[in-house]
Structures are given as C-alpha cells and as structure tokens.
Structure 1
C-alpha cells in the first residue's frame, strides 16, 4: 500500500463520516431528555433584557 492509496481510501470515507456526525447531532437534539433545555435555548432571542428567568 502506498500513501496515495491510503489517502484515496480515507477520502472516500468523508461522506460516511459526515453522515454519521449529522445523524448523531440529530439524535442528540431530538432526545426527550434534552427537550426542556433546548426549548429554553430556543427562546433566548425572544426574551427581553429585563427577564431574570432562565
């Protein structure tokens, strides 16, 4: 095996790696355990500066 063939092999895996990463993020975001925290993060732009709630 030459360095060129190894490089081509790993280059072909980038699409798979990115798909796995994307699906991992989606799985993490849609877990029921994270729902309340992520909804609170989504409301941050809508809060007034006076709000003390978090």
Structure 2
C-alpha cells in the first residue's frame, strides 16, 4: 500500500472517529436521565445565599467580606 493512499484512508478514519466521539459526548450530556441534575446546576447563580448556609469564602473571611471601595481606600 502506497503511503499517500494510507494517509488518505487514515484521515477519513479520523474524521469518522471524531464524529462518533462527538455524538457520544452529546448523548452523554443530553440524556434525559440527567435533565434534573443540569437544571439544578443551571440555577446556581440565581440562588439566594442568605436562604442557605454562608459561602465558604465568607466563613473564611475572604475578599467578598469587604466592599471594593474599602479595599481600594486601604490600598492607597
């Protein structure tokens, strides 16, 4: 088998392999059994922190504790 023919065959096989891999990833992410899981992850930015427990950075005294103006004034 000639090297150019082998290269042509392998490039075709790679395209088919990546297409199958892509379809497999789509199926893994979009399967109906995971709909509730992804819906709960989608509303994370909309959750109210005061309703639940305090965030880890607030308990640890992280940078969210001070407002931007106080931090800026302290650095000057």
Q: How would you bin the TM-score normalised by the shorter chain? A: 0.5 to 0.7
State the superposition RMSD in angstroms.
2.3
TM alignment of 1:12-51, pairs within 5 A? 12-47=12-47, 50=49
Q: Taking structure 1 as the reference length, what is the TM-score of the superposition?
A: 0.55
Count of residue correspondences: 51
Q: Kindly indicate whether structure 1 or structure 2 has the higher relative contact order, using CA contacts under 8 Å at least 6 residues apart.
A: 1
Q: Taking structure 2 as the reference length, what is the TM-score of the superposition?
A: 0.46
Q: Which runs of 5+ in 2 are unaligned?
A: 54-76
Task: Tell which structure's C-alpha radius of gyration is larger.
Answer: 2
